[in-house]
Amino acid sequence: MADWRWIHFGHYGAQGTPGGEALGIALERMVSGISSPVDSDRGFSARVRYLTKTDAGYEAMDRAGVHVSPRTLMAWLAEERKPRSKAMLARVDAAYWDLRRRNVARDLKARLHQGGRGTRVEINPVNESQVDRKHRRGEELRRRLSTRDVNVRDLGLWDRAVDAWMDNDLVELDDIWQQICQDHLGTDWEAYAYVDSIGWDA
């Protein structure tokens, strides 16, 4: 059974992120794209050009609620104007990143598979510096819960993780994180349900 302090994480001031969410954040960091902000002329026009190259881009705009007339879209492409509405700019940006994620998903899986070698994951435990001493975990447990390095070779887990991240499925990401912890962290695995951060070089 999970420890009470993890069911009610943060009650005493511990700082951290649910492991599944941290997994999604780490995947998100692997996606590169246009660095210019969407409200700049360059950033906006680059996003619109990217979105209008393929049918998938138009589908991404539809999902994001970018519904404009062909005349308006042509004016955007000609860089004659751009939306004044922050809401519309945000929708164009959302459509762009949605399409980027979908376009790089296969590459992300390949990078995490690394030819069957899997990926080494660095897990940084939660920060208890703001927790009253009497509520901190025991000294022995804290010594054991240092930064951990594990190599996740289960390629099916990486496929599931990328798919869940694409679907914004935090429940699935949490399930995957729990399996990673159970498979690699021994009897202390529940204490890593929340983490300060995770990362990898893939």
Quote the Cα angle for 20-106-201, to 5°.
60
Per-residue pLDDT tens digits for 80-105: 999 999 999 999 999 999 999 999 99
Q: Looking at residue 125, what is its pLDDT?
A: 82
pTM of the full structure: 0.74
- Distances 49 to 46, 77, 78, 165 between C-alpha atoms, Å: 5, 7, 10, 25
Q: Looking at residue 186, what is its pLDDT?
A: 84
| Residues 76 and 44 sit within 8 Å (Cβ to Cβ) | yes
| pLDDT higher than threshold 70 for residue 129 | no
Q: Which residues contact 39 (CB under 8 A, 6 or more apart)?
A: 86, 89
Q: Looking at residue 145, what is its pLDDT?
A: 62
Per-residue pLDDT tens digits for 2-45: 332 333 334 333 357 889 999 998 998 899 999 999 999 999 99
